[in-house]
Structure formats: C-alpha cells, structure tokens
Structure 1
Amino acid sequence: MTRTNPDSCPGVLRLHQAADGPLARIRLPGGRLEPGQLQVLAEAAAELGDGNIELTSRGNVQLRQVPDAAALSERLAGAGLLPSDTHERVRNIVASPLSGRIGGWADVHALVPPLDTGLRTAPRLAELPGRVLFTLDDGRGDISGLGGDIGVHATGAAEFALVLAGGDSGIRVSAADAVQVMLAAAHAFLDLGSGQWRLREVDDGVPRVIDVLGLSPGPERLEFGAAHDIPIGWLEQDNGLVSLGAAVRLGSMPARIAEFIAAIERPIFITPWRSLVITDLEEWPAEQVVRVLAPMGLIFDANSPWLQVSACAGRPGCAKALTDVRADAAAAVESGRVLPPTDQPAAESNTSGRATGPGPTIELRTADEVAVADRQHWSGCERRCGRPRGQVTDIVATENGYRIG
C-alpha cells in the first residue's frame, strides 16, 4: 500500500489547522513528565490555547487553539519538551506506565532515553512518518496490544521479544541490544517503504525487515490483545510508596488541574488510555491528593462510567463532525445513560481501528435517547477517529441522529 498523500501528523513546529483553530501535539517519550514540565504545559494551555491539555492515545498531549506557534515552541524548548526541531514528530514512544514501580519483568523506562536519543541523533530517521509508533512493554501486556510498528516485549529480566507491526516476530534480543535492534528496524522500514505511514502497510513488511536485520526468529510467538485494565486509583509500588492512577474526563484536562498536579512535585506518566499516573508518593500525601483533586474532576474510581466512554473531537474542533459528540457523551454519563458493563460482546476493532463484527447495528436514536452499556466510542462521522482497540460499541453521528452498533 502506497500513500498518495504525505504524512500530515501535527507537531509543535507544524500545527494542524483544526476547525476551531491551530492544534499542537507535543511528544512525551514514555509518557513521562517532570512537575516543572507539566507546569509549563498548564501555563501554555491557559495563556496560548483554549485552557485545556488533551491526552492522546499515544501518551502524548495536545493544545488546541494555539495561534502563536513561535511562543509555544519557545516555552516548550525551555522546558526540555522540544529537544529537536528536525525529529520532534517521530518521538512516538509508549511504555508500560507502571514499569519499574509495580510488577513487570523489566523496567522498560530505562530504554526510553537511549531510544529517544538514538532517534534524534540519526539524521535519516527524521524521515519517519509521524504515525510510526515504538512500544516498550515490560511483559504485563498493556502496551504490545496497541498495534505499534516497532517495539519490544519483556520475556524475562534481560530478554525481550521483538515486536513488529503489532505482532511477535519470533526474534529474541537481550536488554543490552534492544534499543539498537529497534533503531535498525526503523532504518529498515525507511529502506523498504514507498510512502507508507505504518509498517503493516508495507507488502511483506515484517519478513523483509527481519531479513534486513539478519536475525533468526525462533518458534515461539506471544499473542497480544488490547488491554482494558487501566491503572486507576490507589496503586501500591513495590518499594512501599504509592502511585495514583487518575482518569481525565474524555481525555481533556483543565490547565488548573494540571497546575495542582505539578505542585505535588512527583514524576507523572501520561498513559495511552488518556489517563495519568502520579508516582512515588508517601501514603499521607497520596490521601491528600485524592481529597483535593477528586472534587476537581480527576477520577480515581476504577468503576466510574467515565472510564467506559471515549469520543472524537467532534464539533467545533473538527469540520467533518456532524455534531458536538463530546457534549452528548458527557451528558450521557452525567444523566446515568452509560450503563454498567455486561457480558455481551461489543464490536471489535481491527488493526486500523475501524469496527468489525459482531455487534449488530440498531436503529437511529437522538442524543438524549442513547443508553449503552460497556465500553463505547462516540464519533462525529463515519471515520470514527480515536476509536480505541478491542471490544467497543460504536455510537456514530449521522444526519438523522446516532447509529449504535
């Protein structure tokens, strides 16, 4: 498959002209933010954007309605959030958020800095499409199921499976070699591609990359599935400290809440499930954090209906959207129309994120008639942007109401 259009994935230096104004996407390798960096983002959102920080499905963040790209880039560069003008859009690295603190075979966060450095110091890798995703899974299976392009999955304390196009390649590499093998695979993708945005789009891409690497796959293959167990609430770290997992309503965090989180002065990890983890807390401060931030809107309850709902940008942010799906989705939660989970399977997405069976389509409903159980994604049009992987019920806006199925 060869793309007819160049990759237009936004960054900081190349904004996306959304319907509601310029949108900036800031890459956070491994999802990590230092408190001072989050404070800078909060101030930028309040003073240069629409007042919110959007969390993305790749553990990055976005600011909307940013008219002054130069002012934003200056602030981000000063905070260490824009270390490269040439490679800023290719730093798409997601890692198991709890790695090194709770469970897992290996601390994959130790691989993030050398992988990021390797990407930024290889001039040719600036040519990677902004859609290419690197995944680092510590063996618990939360990241490898995201359908990344190039990654590793821990099979032991010092051994990793090489993941290509979202699947186990059969190759096993040592912890010492993991970063160099991933970088070599990125070079191979560029060598073999002809305009494709993702490795799975390259004809016979995985075996051809393996051939370029000169490594021999073994017989074992791990199976990866979409993870639904989002780290939310009180999380006991292996060292006796506490992490707090918090969801953000529809992935949009007000700058004021971000400022409060920054003031805690602990490392923060943005997850690919549009949530965050505040780490390395003593028990008493952790209790105070929950008492202050829960009333402000952060969600520490793993059973909250907000965790069942996601939505695309909708109106006014997207010109293709037929309605304000975020407002309709929020109204469904607040009015109790997001029903408790059932055992009934919903539709399951394929590798492209589009829906496949088995969920049947039912009749159209008005916004205030929609009442759906289980995980659900509200879309402003048939493209269904932002749809999470795994079993999800689609609620799609049409000219005559919402189609559910």
Structure 2
Amino acid sequence: MSIPADRCPGVFRTHQAADGALARIRVPGGVIASEALDALALAADEFGDGTIELTVRGNLQVRGIAENDVAAFAEAVIAAGLASDSAHDRVRNVIVSPFSGRVGGLADLRPFADALVDTLVAADWSAVLSGRFWFGLDDGRGDVLARTTDVAGVAVDSDHAVVVIGGSHVIGPVPLRDLPDQMVAAARAFLDVAEGAWRISDLDEDRRTTLFSALGASAEGPLPVPRHPEPRVGWFDQTDGRVMLGAVVPFGNLSAEQARYAAAIGVHVSITTEREILIGDLDEAVAETVVRVLAPLGFIFDSRSPWTTLTACTGSPGCAKSAADVRTALRDHVADLDPDADAPPHGHWIGCDRGCGSPARSHVRVLASADGTLRRVD
C-alpha cells in the first residue's frame, strides 16, 4: 500500500490554501486558557482573516495568513503559550472527554492530558509520528472512544483505565498514574511497525498483529462501548454546584471579537470534537450574565438549533478543490427551516468528495457536483 507524505499542517508548517496559508494550533485536551484565547484572537486579526476555526479533532486553525506573515504568526502563537517546539508541534494530538471532572464520568482525566503531552514531547523519537496520529482520554462515557483514536485511555473506575489500541485491542486495566507512560509506549511500538503509515488503521493485517502482540494487547474480554454524545449545548450543572455553558457558532467559525468576549470571562474554554465551546466553573449569576452577553454576539446556547447538527467544509472560494460555495448554500438552507422545529439529523455539506471536516457519527452528506449543483449522497 502506497501512503502519501504527511502534509498535516501545524503552526510552523502551514498549508497553502486558496485564501492563503492555514495554520493549525494543537490544543491538547481541547482546553485553552483565557489569556491564550485572547492572544490568538489578536493574532488572527493581525495576521489571518480574523476568524478562529474549530476543527473536528478538537484543535483550532487560522486561515488567510500571508506567506510573509507565517513566521510572525508562529511567534505570536508561541508567545501565547500554544506552541513551543517545532519538532513536536504536530504530534500533540490529545482529546479528553469534555465534561470530565465536571459533569459525570468515572474519573477526572484532565490532568493526564498534560502528563501525556509532557511524556510524549520529552521523547526525541516522537517527532517522527504523523501529525494525524491521535491520542484520546475517555472518562468512561464512551465519547472519546467513538472518535476512533489510535491510542485511547478509557477509565473503568476512579483509579484505573484500559488502553485501547486501534479501537479493537485492550491492555490492562492499569492504574491511572501509569496511563501516560503506557499510551506513549504504544505509540513507540507503532513506529516500530509503521513503515511510513500515519495511523494504526493504515497498517496491514500482519503489521497490526505484530503491534498487538508486542504490546500484549488482547481482543478478548469486554471492550468499552463507543457512544456519540448528545449536543453539549445549553446549561449544565457541574458536580461541584457550579455551572458549565455549552454553545456553538455556525460552521465552528469563531470571530476574533467573539473569541475576545469569551476570553474576557476569565476562565478556561474547552473546544470539543463536535465544534462546541464549553465555558465552565461559573456560578449561576455569572453564567446568566455570560448568556446575556454572548448570545447577541452569535453564540448559540439552544440545543435544538440546526447549527448543532449541520456543518460544512470550507468550500469555495477558500478551497481550490471545492466545486461550490457550500457554506452560503447551507446558510440559505438553515434560513428556510422551521425555527420552532427540533434540530435536523446530522448533515455535512461538502464541495468535493474528500469530505473534509466530516463528523465521525452517521450523517447525511450533501455533495457539490463538478458543475456546482448540490445533491444528497446517502
């Protein structure tokens, strides 16, 4: 099997799109400090198109960067504390159950995201990992496991987790304190058999078997069940008595102004793989004020909104491969929907058959033909 070169963008190595350079900022665990979000908003305004895009891997990206501004943008991201080492920039791909430690779940796995990244970047060999290799920490509810990560730590009680390799084989249970080391060891074992493969799913059967054997991973016994979550949009009571708010914005596009207002709340913001924005650890009075301020700015706190289930790729004119301006088409479609109806089934509108940004769950695809017409593809 021939595997093309890994061109997954980062902060230091961008992708040249039709609308300029695109930089992807890894956000391990999906959590960004308010000061960092504010700084990124300023950088998006100064060097990009003034928008911060939320991705389906829980990261952020900025488009429209001029070629001669790429280095300056990278320096701004470094100053914000969102990147440091160019060699390991693209390997810090870690997602965590977004409600972990706040609403439900068997264990709080948030601290283990930082420990995992620290262990990973401390290893020189990890710089060879593809920018697509993906780690996940699931607090037992199955939401991260549903994202088909390469190596996932899944809590089985408050002190132990299993390590799921390639979605099919299990190591453990192991104590939570050992989880980062176990997960990084699994990534190292993958490189021993990778031969240029980006992800475990790219391995042929023989190399997968070799990997599972080397790790002592077994297909026997209970495998944690993946579960796609309901929209994390609205008002959620935390176990400590405080409040978490969940919101979406159309297309997962956060304007620099919106980002600055969210940052001004002064708490960490979480980004989910469903492109949701979570603002937690608020008392009720503050939460009510946040909704009153952010809703008029375009933040959607209604879980029945079609923007909780309908998404689109970049489309034209931003992407040269797209046959249509799918985002304008989707906006027009949403405008025609009954505003009092429940959110429609999940759907993704795409300008070509690459399907960039497609959700992991089952969904309706609306595809642009070569002549620009849109049709439903089941």
TM-score (norm. length: structure 1) = 0.89
Q: Quote the Cα distance in structure 2 between the aligned partners of 1:336 and 1:79.
A: 40
Residue identity opposite 1:242 in structure 2: V
Map 1:383-394 to 2 at 5 A.
Answer: 383-394=354-365
State the 4+ residue runs in structure 1 displaced beyond 6 angstroms.
none
Separation in structure 1 between the aligned mates of residue 299 and residue 59 of structure 2, nearest angstrom: 18
Match of residue 27 from structure 1 = 26
Please state how far the C-alpha of 1:228 moved relative to its aligned partner.
Answer: 3.8
**d(CA) in 2 for partners of 1:202, 1:290:** 47
Cα contact 1:170–1:220 (8 A) shared by 2: no
For residues 227-253 of structure 1, give each alpha carbon's deviation from its aligned partner in whole angstroms, at most 9, with x where no partner exists.
Answer: 141211111111011111111211101
Identity, in percent, stands at 42
Choose the corresponding residue for 1:382, options 353, 371, 374: 353
Q: CA deviation at 1:209?
A: 2.3
User: What is the aligned partner in structure 2 of residue 403 from structure 1?
Assistant: 375
- Corresponding position of 1:268: 269
Separation in 1, partners of 2:221, 2:209: 14
1:268 shift after superposition? 0.7
1:298 is aligned to 299
Shift of 1:78: 1.4
The gaps in structure 2 that reach 5 residues or longer are none
Which residue identity is paired with 1:11?
A: G
- The CA deviation at 1:222 is 2.5
Q: Which amino acid aligns with 2:175?
A: S
CA shift for structure 1 position 389? 1.5
1:157 is displaced (CA, Å) by 0.8
**Partner AA of 2:126 in structure 1:** L
Q: Is the 8 A contact 1:49 1:63 kept in 2?
A: yes
Secondary structure in 1 matching 2:65: coil
The Cα shift of 1:72 comes to: 1.1
Could you tell me whether the CA contact under 8 Å between 2:171 and 2:216 is conserved in 1? no
Instruction: Report how far residue 223 of structure 1 moved.
Output: 2.9
Superposed displacement of residue 177, structure 1: 1.5
Q: Which residue of 2 aligns with 1:158?
A: 159
- CA–CA separation in structure 1 for the residues paired with 2:338 and 2:366: 13
Q: Which residue of 2 aligns with 1:44?
A: 43
Tell me how far 1:279 sits from its aligned partner. 1.1
Q: Is the partner of 2:290 in helix, strand or coil?
A: helix
Preserved CA contact (<8 Å) 1:153 1:160: yes
Question: 2:182 matched to 1:181?
Answer: yes
**Cα separation, 2, equivalents of 1:83 and 1:337:** 47
Encode CA deviations 1:145-170: one digit per residue, 9 max, x unaligned. Answer: 00111111111111112112233526
Note if contact 2:169-2:218 (Cα within 8 Å) is conserved in structure 1: no
C-alpha distance in structure 1 between counterparts of 2:346 and 2:237, whole Å: 26
Q: CA deviation at 1:45?
A: 0.9
Listed as ranges, the matches of 1:54-203 within 5 Å are: 54-67=53-66, 68-169=69-170, 171-203=172-204
Residues 59-88 of structure 1 show CA distances to partners (whole Å, capped at 9, x for unaligned) of 100000112111111111112111212100
Residues matched between the structures, number: 373
Q: Tell me how far apart the structure 1 counterparts of residues 302 and 285 of structure 2 sit (CA, whole Å).
A: 19
Checking the alignment, whether the CA contact within 8 Å between 1:106 and 1:157 is kept in structure 2 is yes
Alignment map for 1:255-334 (pairs within 5 Å): 255-334=256-335
Q: Which residue of 2 aligns with 1:253?
A: 254
Instruction: Supply the distance in 1 between the matched residues of 2:114 and 2:2 (Cα, whole angstroms).
Output: 32
Following the alignment from structure 1 to structure 2, what is the Cα–Cα distance between the partners of residues 148 and 87? 19
Structure 1: gaps of 5 or more residues:
343-372
Q: CA deviation at 1:270?
A: 0.8
Distance 2:191 2:341 in 1: 46
Quote the RMSD (CA, aligned, Å). Answer: 1.7
> Is residue 140–residue 154 contact of structure 2 (8 Å, CA) maintained in 1?
yes
Tell me if structure 2 keeps the 8 A contact 1:49–1:66.
Answer: yes
Deviation at 1:218, TM superposition (A): 4.9
What is the identity, as a one-letter code, of the residue corresponding to 2:18?
A: A
Matches of 1:312 and 1:8, distance apart in 2: 18
Q: What is the letter of the counterpart of residue 60 of structure 2? A: V
